Every structure is written in structure tokens, then in C-alpha cells.
Structure 1
Amino acid sequence: MAISTTFYNLWVAAIDFGTTFSGYAFGSREELENDPTKIFAPVWQAADGGLISSKTPTTVLLDNDENLVDFGFDAETAYSELSENGEHEDHYYFRRFKMMLYDKVRTSKLTVDTKISDIRGRELKALTVFSHAIRYLKDHLLRSVKERGGSFVKQEEILWVLTVPAIWDDTAKLFMRKAAQEAGIPGHQLMIALEPEAASIYCQHLPVEKLEGSNSISAFQPGSKYLVLDAGGGTVDITVHEVKNNGHLKELDRASGGDWGGTSVDMAFKQALADIVTEGMIEGYCHKYTGDYIELLRDFEIKKRKCGQGNDSNHLITLKVPVTFTEECAETMAKDLTTLTNESRFNNHFYWKSDKVRIDMPTFEGFFQPACIGIINHVKELFKSPKVKGVKKILMVGGFSESPLLQDAIRKAFPDCQVIVPQEAGLAVLRGAVVFGYNPKAIDSRIAKYTYGVKTNEEFDTDKHMESKKEIINGVEYCTDIFDRHVQKGQELIVDEAQAERSYEPLTSDQTEIGFYIYTSTDDDPLYTDYCENIGKFLVAVPGHDGDRSVSVKMIFGKTELTAQATVVRTGNMIPAEFKLPECEQIE
């Protein structure tokens, strides 16, 4: 959906909805015009004071009626207390659920009815959970604006920007838009920003002293080319940019990435525990002592962030271990933790003592290896592409990019590249989303990740079409399921320019609308929609019942979201073209 031409924002507010942590930032148009880096983002703190962060955990606590109880650090604390009192079973507790959406996109079609599971396996509609989280951040932001002297700000004067990974497809972006609208953000006041793009835009405005690894102002001068490595909690987003003469950015290669974010380090640690005490024991402990389990992972998060800060190989990392973990292990496994560790591959690597466990540095650093290897191998493949030729700079952003160990791994893997890390790399996306909202034309062009086309029919040709695709409509033989290509994979997409324009007409006289089913393919030019992915459809109303009823449709693929413009050929009148998720007629 496009921003209304009658809408003028006085404030830009961004919500960065992350896998592990989420947050918001905002700035007034007046301040951004004078200084694009003058952006406010709050500081969040755990109730015990053990963790202070620029974002709060992406954790949602709902009651049995699906009403929001709390979010973030407060949700963790509240659920811990409920668990201690045995009252948690009447609640839903969701954490790190953004990756569930990513998994749904990869493995099945995403719809408004898609469900995700909470920490105990209870399912709710994903749209409900996501909209609760966005509404909480939206309301918290509005309170912050008022506290900072913006008490007279009207909600209709705010442009909202919601960040999503660049590797997400159009279906997931539409889902997030729907969730934001459910949370009370009007569609005409909402923009979608791609995370690595937002960070790249923000870093252009930072002084050189705030860019570690940058030895001159030339890093973002016209003609500069660099790879953006956005390492977040769940996914790693990678794109390649060139700075044009007008200061705007041009994408050189299509966005790519994978699930090598900071949570993969957590998974490696949890797998190590499971190797010692079994996965069944870990799962049972999580359900029985959820609060203590959260505290264990929170302490691991603190130590994870510090890993690599000049510690030698003989150093030991100490984690606090809840007494309940030791007791539950003895009761479940009939052995103490030291005995179980000695019988595992972690003998002489994990040392248990009272309420602590000490892990040697090589083992702790080993938890980072799956993520580091995945990222490095992917970047090496990207550098083989002719489109990336001449790129000698890597810009690291995102929360996981703040890890000294990951930074060191990237520098060692790419010694010929200048590795640049902005101060507070974890906030680069969030602050960049505000700058993007202020100046959405900062990106001039993007590269198509897929081949896009429309499912259509054409008159049957025996020399060209499969007999099984033949269908007779009003006495005419048609070939169905034709893939009518609009954009080819790898094509440069100029922002705000229609990449293709086609004229369509209804097949029958009583047809009142045309549904344009949008498909994507990894092939350059498929003939049929078989084996292609349906990502949604545009619905366009068609005029009258007589004369020329054809409709001209322009599809614009170069923006962060897929949009279309439809025109009645006979009259020249513009008609709405609404994009809907696949198989979900109920989206309004």
C-alpha cells in the first residue's frame, strides 16, 4: 500500500521487530532535516538489573483469553513469577517467535491463519501474537514522545516504519503489514524498510570516528562499493551497495542470507547441555522451571556478548546455574552433573561447582563456530559473483555484529577487505529505518531476487502447449497456468518505475473482477506456474458488461513492497489494486 499523497508526517517512528530483541526509535522531521542522526531510542533494563540493552526481548505474555499481559523484560519477569506460583499454565508465553515466521515462509505458505507455538507447545494465530507485540511497542513509543515534549503530537502526524529482513519474501512483508494494521497503525501511514538497507543509509551519515575500521571519509563517497553484513538475532541479511553520484544507494546484487544469527550460538550451547543431560531433561526442565531456565539463558546472553574481548585460551567463562537445574538433573538422570559431564564429549571442558558452571574458552568459542562458518562461506560465494567485483569493504551491522569474536572471524577470513563496524551496530537498523522514513528515495534501485510473473491463460497452441493444460472457455481452447513474466531474476529494478505493463481482459461477460495471481520462480523464464510459488494476488474490479473491458496493469517491483496500478483502458480511470496473501480471501 502506498503512503497517501495527502499525508504529511511531522514525526518518523520506527519499530525494529527482531528475533531476540525488539525496539523503537523516533525523530521529528525538523530535527532530521538538520541532523539525520538525531534520533531517540530508549534504554531497556531487566528487572534484576543484570542486563541493560538498547532493545528489549521479543517476548510476549498473554492470558488465557489471548489478552496481552506484558512484553519484553517485564514479560520474562512476570512469567517467572507465575511459574514459581504454579499459575503459568493458564498463560501463553512466546519468545523468539519471529524465526517461526521465517521457517513458515521457507516450508509452507504463510496465511493470516498460520499458527505458531509458545514455549509449552500451545498454538495461537501468528497474526495475534505479532500484532500484540507491535501494539505494545507502538503504545510505548507514543508515551515516550509525550514525555519528551511531544504531548501535542497527533497520531495522524506520525509516519511509521516497520523493519523486515531483506531475504523475506513479499508474503512475509504483507503479513507484517497486516499485523501492524491490526495493532492500530493505519496502512496509509506505514512503510516497510529492509533491514540491511536501513543500516546502510544510517551509516552514510555517521562521522568517521564512529565507524570502527574506517580510516577515511571515503567509505561512503560516490563510487564506493561495499557489502552490508546485517547479523541479527535470527537471520543474517547480506546485500551489496554502491554509492551513486547523488549520494543515493544502488543495489549491486540481490539480497541473500540465512539463519546464522546470534540464536544459533544459543542453540549450540543448549545442544551442549542436551549432550550432557539429554534433550528430554532440558525440555522437561524448561516447562517445569521456566523462570530459572530464562535466567540461565539470560546469563549466557551476557557472557556471549563479552566473548572475544581479549580473553586468552586458558580463560574460563563462568555461568550461574539455578539450584533447581542441579536438583532436577539428579532426580531425572540419577547422576550428578559432574558424572554426566565426565561421560560426555565435554569431559574436562565443563566444570560444575555449586551454583555455577565454568566452561573453557575454546569450548565456549566453539558455540560461535556454526554461525561464523555459515556467514563466511556465504560471503565467499558472493565474492565470486561478477556483480561484486571490486568490492573491498564489509560493513557489519546488527546486534550479532557487535560480537568481537564474529568481527575477528570476518577480518581473518577476508584479510583484503576493510571491515567497518559502526558504534552501537545493533541500533544501526533501527535508526536507519527512521532516516529511511524521512527520505525513502535514498535507495535508487534494487535487484530482483526472483522471476515474477502472473498466472494467465492464452489461446492453445498444439506446437507449444501441453495437452493436459487445455481448457475450453466459451467455445475457445485456452492453455491454462501460463506464467506471464513481468520481471526476471537478477534484473535491476528502478524504484517507483513500473517494471512491466500488461493489458488484460475478463474471459466471460459476467466477470466483475480480475484476480492477478502473482508467482515467483528461481528460473529465468518458466512457461507454466507449475513448481512456482504463489505469493498472493491483486484483485482489480473491471467495468461494465459491454465494449472494451480491458484493464492495463502496471506492477512496481522496485519498492520494499510489491505494488500495482490499474487503469481502465477505455476510460483511463484508475482503479484500486489490492494485494492479498495467498488463499486468504478474508484479508481486508
Structure 2
Amino acid sequence: MKEIAALVPKTSQTIVVSIDLGTSGTGFAYAHVKDTQGKVFNNVDWDGQSFKYCKTLSAILYEGNTRVAIGHNARETINDQEEDSSNNNYHFIEHFKMNFMKDPNSTIHVNGKGFSVKKVMKDYLEEIKTVALEFIKKSETSLRKEMIRWVFTVPAQYDDRLKHELKLIAKEAGIIEKINSEEQCMIVTEPEAAAVYCIEEMKKDREIKKGDSIIIMDAGGGTVDFTTHIINDQMLLREVTQQTGGSHGSTNLDRKFEELLVNKLGQDLIDDLKSNMSSFYNVKVAWESYKPKIRSLNKTYSILVPQLASFIMSGNYHNIKPGFFRTQNATISMTPADLEFVYNETLEQICGLLDQQISKASAELGTERITYLFIVGGFGQCQILTDKIAREFGDQFESIRTPSFAGEAIMNGAALLGINPSLIKIRRARLTYGVETSPEFDTKIHKRENYIRKDGRHLCSKVFHPFVRAGEEVEIGYEAAQEFYALGETAEICVYSSVCDFMDEDVVYVDDLMVSELAVISIKVPQDARTIRVTMIFGKSEFLVKVENDDQEQEEYTLKFDAKSLDMRQ
């Protein structure tokens, strides 16, 4: 494998700014490119937020089509408009990241009005950009846009299409100018960013050593992601397994809590509550504020919800279960059975994913015990979750840690990766990447319907030729290059991907269901030299593809994105 130097921003780019756009909360961090100490700065003072924290709410409020506020300000604005809270002209939108992940072309409907999720993301990121630049300019008075490299973090399960869509939104929001420039913009996964920050922090105290293995569990509002790394001889990270994850974040607890309210109070009451924007969100705030205080599933907790009491007293509801809500002191009484209803499903799903990650890591490393488990993310600070992990998996790790910096680990690690992407030395390919070829026809292995005859040669059409297979290790800067003989005056190199890991002896065709077209690259073929060289360079958060003829000509190409896609630099 060919080793290349770390990709460092150009001289004019002196600042790296990372944005951790989460399901529940969003924050940013920045660092100086030339700061060898790796100091990262966070904003902990957000408008409308009564406490210091590195994130604000991932929420936005519209009045009609006009955005009014984001974050806690958006929620506070609803409360300020309590007299008009039933006015359908107000549209409060949160958790839009999950809508984007499910379908970036989807529409979010609020109070009878639809909002494109892309518009919501764009509007929200515009506001975050403004806050970030104002914060940085307090220290960097001469800051200019061209001095910044932006880094965005995404869940492990984002495919390349979603990463590309995010870049397009960032461009529309005025954050970046070119989507295919790594100097301007990088995308890194949340668990690998967290891994980098955890390891860099441990290096400061000399707690980490060569050969240590680390599983990162990033438990956020929408997703819970896992990645496993080992420390190599250069004290850099080598990815051991493919990153995995699922939509099992803390917002699932909110969904189950709402189901509990329906079961205990009746659907009619909850429907009426939702029609009153202020009352409904006050109930949600009461629950979300109380969640950190719930430390055991074996106790009964009383949650003060005065808005719910006044709402119940003003109506005539007959489906309220006795004992759940006490009107006299305006509290919800959550018993162990209620808590299990809210928590257990999500906890079991997370434990199942962690068990799978441990099994894969142990098999790859040849050991039954991993050195460290780091639990980060906002949901990672939930004691019920960490206690369950410790009970069920404590004997499979030398140490399980929930660091004090769990909330900022992702954004800070992303900033460090923006300065030096080679902190992660080896990654695992998420997909199998290759090109369409036409090898000599072999009656023993090729489909008869794919037989073609061209220039007197017997060929098999539409054969998928892999360069790198899913799950295979790829070092930073690894170049997979192969030469092909081209027929005709112009060669069309069709690039494909697949979620499958094919064996060498497998014959796979590009029109199979599990194979997706990414791009078609055209290049002229010299008459006296018909060799075409295709090079794929892997290992960064994106990779590039080069197509070259024997005259060393390299053609520009336009990339088309399909159901599965690939972000390549032109």
C-alpha cells in the first residue's frame, strides 16, 4: 500500500470548523490548523438556553414560510405566544435529521403545512453557520470565509447519497462553494470522530498504548453507532470492523413516553393536547428535563407537569387510568412497569448491536476481551443505559468509560480529523467498488445471454470487476489501479458499487439487483495504444477515481447519483 502525507488545508485555510448536526442537539467546534497541541474551542452559550452546554436544540420555528428562531429560542417563542398557540401559522419542527436520513426528498407536515426536509436543513444550517462565525470572530477578528475548512459529522449508516445531499444543502446554505473540494469540506462519521477525540484525550495522560483495542458506542438522540479500532505502531487508529448502527437513540424513549400517555390518558386527550402547541411542548419539555434524573427502572418517579393538570381540568375525559396522573399536585407517577415500557425495547436493541460489534471485533482481533468501551453522545450519559451495558458486557472489556466530555467528543474529534485525516490510518470499505468489464467469454461460468462478439473476440458483457470489497481494509491513500484493453475510439468506464462482499470466483453482473451504477466516465482511446488505466484512491472520508489513457490524458467527467452513490472528486 502506498502511504501519503496527511491532507492538510492550504495555507489560506487556517481554521477548521466542525458541525455536529444531531437529531436532538447540534453544536460546533473550531481549531487552528497549526496548533500542535490540538486545542479545540466550543460554544456553550446559546440564545434561549438557561444552562451552559455545547449544543442547542435541533429545532426550528416558522411563522408561515419565514423562519423565526432555532434551538431553545424556537421552543421559548412558542411559549411566549401561548395565547395564540392554536394559531396554525406557527410551525415548530424538530428531529428533522431522522426525516432526512429516511428520505432526503421527504416533506415534514406541521399544522397542515408541508416543509421540504432539505429546506428545513438548509435554513437550520444557515443559522448555525451565522452563530459559529460570530463566535469565532470574537477571537479571530480577521476571519474570512476562504480561511475555513468545514467538517460535517454523520451517522455510521449514512450512505454516499446522503453524504452528497448534505454537501448540496451546505452549499445552498452558503457554508461551502464546492461540494467536491476536500479543502473546503469533509464528511466524517460520528463514531470515528468520537474515537479520535477519546484516543487523543487518553494520549495526554498516557493511558493508551500500542495494541489497545477500543469500541466506541456513540449513543445520540436519533441513532446509536459503533466502531472498533486498534492502536497501531504509530499510535494511530486502524479500523477493525465495519461501522454499524441503528435508529435506537433517545428519541425512541420520547416516542414510547408518548405511547404511554395515550395508554394512560386516552387518545382523545392527547389529540386535544397536540392541538394546543404550547401545552403539548411544555409536557415534552417536562419529560425531557426529567429524563436525566431517572437512574433506575426499579423505582417510582413523580414528574411535575402543571400544564397537563390545567389541561385535564378544563376538559371532559373519561379514559384516564387511575393512579397515573395526580391532579392535586400536577404530577405523573411513573412506576417500574411504566419505565420498563418506555426503556426496555430501546435498551435491548442497543445491547443487540453492541453484542454483534463485540463478536465481529473479537473474531477479527483473535481475542475474547476488548481493552476499552467508550460510551459517548447525549444518550450515552443515561445511567440506566450505562448500568445495563456494564451488567451485561462488563466482563468483555478491561474498562468501560463514559467520559466527562461525552457531549462534545464528536464535534471535537471531527475538528481534529479536519486538521489531520490520517489520525485514522486504516478504514474498512463500506461497499464493494468496481467497474463494468467484458472479459473473454467462458462457457463454464458466464451466462449465455451475456455473450457478445466484438472485433473478432468472444466476450461476456456487463461483468462487475471489483477493485475493493466491502469490509476490506483500506489504508489512507491506498491506490487500487488496474489496466484494461479498450475497444473502439472512446472508452466508457462505468463505475458501480454493491453492498455485497463477493468472492474471487463469483461472477457478478452489473445489472444484478445488489449492484448500483455510480458514474460513467468517457475517455478517448489512442489508435496505437488501447490501454486504459483506472485508479481508485481510498481511505479518506471520500475517495476519487482517475481514468487515464496511454497518452496520459485525463478527462473531466460529471457524476450522476443513483439509489446508492459515491462522492468523487473531479
TM-score normalized by structure 2?
A: 0.85
Match of 1:19 among 12, 16, 23: 23
Q: Is the 8 A contact 2:160 2:564 kept in 1?
A: no
SS in 1 for 2:244: strand
SS in 2 for 1:39: strand
- In structure 2, the residue matched to 1:532 is 514
Matched, 1:381 2:361: no
Q: Is the 8 A contact 2:497 2:564 kept in 1?
A: no
Looking at structure 1, the residues matched to 453 and 91 of structure 2 have their Cα atoms a distance apart, in angstroms, of 52
Residues 109-150 of structure 1: per-residue CA shift (max 9 Å, x gap): x6xxx1232444744433322222222211210011112x21
Q: Which amino acid aligns with 1:381?
A: Q
Looking at structure 2, the residues matched to 260 and 231 of structure 1 have their Cα atoms a distance apart, in angstroms, of 8
SS in 2 for 1:383: helix
- In structure 1, the residue matched to 2:302 is 317
Match of 1:434 among 415, 423, 431: 415
Match of 2:195 among 197, 200, 218: 200
- In structure 2, the residue matched to 1:282 is 270
Q: Is the 8 A contact 2:438 2:463 kept in 1?
A: yes
Matched, 1:96 2:95: yes
Query: Structure 2: any 5+ residue segments left out of the alignment?
Result: 1-5
Compute the displacement of 1:392 (Å): 3.5
Compute the displacement of 1:450 (Å): 3.1
Matches within 5 A, 1:152-301: 152-184=142-174, 185-187=176-178, 188=181, 189-206=184-201, 217-218=206-207, 220-279=208-267, 282-283=270-271, 285-286=273-274, 288-301=275-288
Q: Which amino acid aligns with 1:400?
A: F
Looking at structure 2, the residues matched to 235 and 374 of structure 1 have their Cα atoms a distance apart, in angstroms, of 11
SS in 2 for 1:553: strand
Looking at structure 2, the residues matched to 549 and 291 of structure 1 have their Cα atoms a distance apart, in angstroms, of 70
Q: Is the 8 A contact 1:566 1:576 kept in 2?
A: no
Match of 1:36 among 20, 35, 38: 38
Looking at structure 1, the residues matched to 67 and 532 of structure 2 have their Cα atoms a distance apart, in angstroms, of 45
Looking at structure 1, the residues matched to 158 and 220 of structure 2 have their Cα atoms a distance apart, in angstroms, of 14
- In structure 2, the residue matched to 1:132 is 123
TM-score normalized by structure 1?
A: 0.83
Compute the displacement of 1:554 (Å): 1.6
SS in 2 for 1:560: coil
Aligned length: 548
Match of 1:447 among 425, 428, 432: 428
Match of 2:374 among 388, 391, 395: 395
Compute the displacement of 1:543 (Å): 3.1
1:531/1:83 Cα in 2 relative to 1: closer, same or farther (>3 Å)? farther
Looking at structure 2, the residues matched to 119 and 277 of structure 1 have their Cα atoms a distance apart, in angstroms, of 23
SS in 2 for 1:542: strand
SS in 2 for 1:322: helix
Compute the displacement of 1:425 (Å): 0.5
Q: Is the 8 A contact 1:460 1:479 kept in 2?
A: yes
Looking at structure 1, the residues matched to 247 and 151 of structure 2 have their Cα atoms a distance apart, in angstroms, of 24
Looking at structure 1, the residues matched to 314 and 561 of structure 2 have their Cα atoms a distance apart, in angstroms, of 46
Residues 352-385 of structure 1: per-residue CA shift (max 9 Å, x gap): 5454323235633652222221111222233223
Q: Is the 8 A contact 1:9 1:158 kept in 2?
A: yes
Q: Is the 8 A contact 2:86 2:277 kept in 1?
A: no
SS in 1 for 2:289: helix
Compute the displacement of 1:557 (Å): 3.5
Instruction: Report which stretch shifted further, 259-268 or 383-392.
Output: 383-392
Compute the displacement of 1:471 (Å): 7.0
- In structure 2, the residue matched to 1:371 is 346
Compute the displacement of 1:247 (Å): 1.4
- In structure 1, the residue matched to 2:69 is 70
Looking at structure 2, the residues matched to 501 and 57 of structure 1 have their Cα atoms a distance apart, in angstroms, of 48
Q: Is the 8 A contact 2:266 2:320 kept in 1?
A: no
Compute the displacement of 1:545 (Å): 8.3
Q: Is the 8 A contact 1:493 1:499 kept in 2?
A: no
Instruction: Report which stretch shifted further, 376-385 or 424-433.
Output: 376-385
Instruction: Report which stretch shifted further, 373-382 or 352-361.
Output: 352-361
Matches within 5 A, 1:487-566: 487-503=468-484, 505=486, 509=489, 514-521=493-500, 524=503, 525=506, 527-529=508-510, 530-534=512-516, 537-543=518-524, 548=529, 551-561=532-542, 563-566=543-546
Q: Which amino acid aligns with 1:322?
A: Q
Q: Which amino acid aligns with 1:532?
A: M
Query: Structure 1: any 5+ residue segments left out of the alignment?
Result: 105-109, 210-215, 343-347
Looking at structure 1, the residues matched to 379 and 320 of structure 2 have their Cα atoms a distance apart, in angstroms, of 32
1:99/1:526 Cα in 2 relative to 1: closer, same or farther (>3 Å)? farther
Q: Is the 8 A contact 1:227 1:394 kept in 2?
A: yes
Looking at structure 1, the residues matched to 161 and 354 of structure 2 have their Cα atoms a distance apart, in angstroms, of 26
Match of 1:326 among 277, 296, 311: 311
Looking at structure 2, the residues matched to 4 and 420 of structure 1 have their Cα atoms a distance apart, in angstroms, of 31
Residues 200-248 of structure 1: per-residue CA shift (max 9 Å, x gap): 1112232699xxxxxx843x22111111111111111101111112111
Looking at structure 1, the residues matched to 289 and 185 of structure 2 have their Cα atoms a distance apart, in angstroms, of 34
- In structure 2, the residue matched to 1:357 is 332
Q: Which amino acid aligns with 1:426?
A: G
Compute the displacement of 1:428 (Å): 0.6
Q: Is the 8 A contact 2:488 2:525 kept in 1?
A: no
Residues 331-361 of structure 1: per-residue CA shift (max 9 Å, x gap): 4xx41xxx5214xxxxx55545454323235
Residues 47-90 of structure 1: per-residue CA shift (max 9 Å, x gap): 6x4x654211111334544x533221222233455674268534
Compute the displacement of 1:190 (Å): 0.6
Q: Which amino acid aligns with 1:372?
A: L
RMSD between superposed Cα atoms in Å:
3.4
1:16/1:314 Cα in 2 relative to 1: closer, same or farther (>3 Å)? closer
Compute the displacement of 1:576 (Å): 3.6
Looking at structure 2, the residues matched to 281 and 406 of structure 1 have their Cα atoms a distance apart, in angstroms, of 31
Q: Which amino acid aligns with 2:157?
A: I
- In structure 2, the residue matched to 1:345 is none
Compute the displacement of 1:394 (Å): 0.7
Looking at structure 2, the residues matched to 503 and 68 of structure 1 have their Cα atoms a distance apart, in angstroms, of 54
Compute the displacement of 1:508 (Å): 5.9
SS in 2 for 1:425: coil
Looking at structure 2, the residues matched to 166 and 359 of structure 1 have their Cα atoms a distance apart, in angstroms, of 34
Compute the displacement of 1:430 (Å): 0.9
SS in 2 for 1:89: coil
Matched, 1:571 2:559: no
1:289/1:415 Cα in 2 relative to 1: closer, same or farther (>3 Å)? same
Instruction: Report which stretch shifted further, 253-262 or 88-97.
Output: 88-97
Q: Is the 8 A contact 2:64 2:90 kept in 1?
A: yes
Q: Is the 8 A contact 2:297 2:339 kept in 1?
A: no
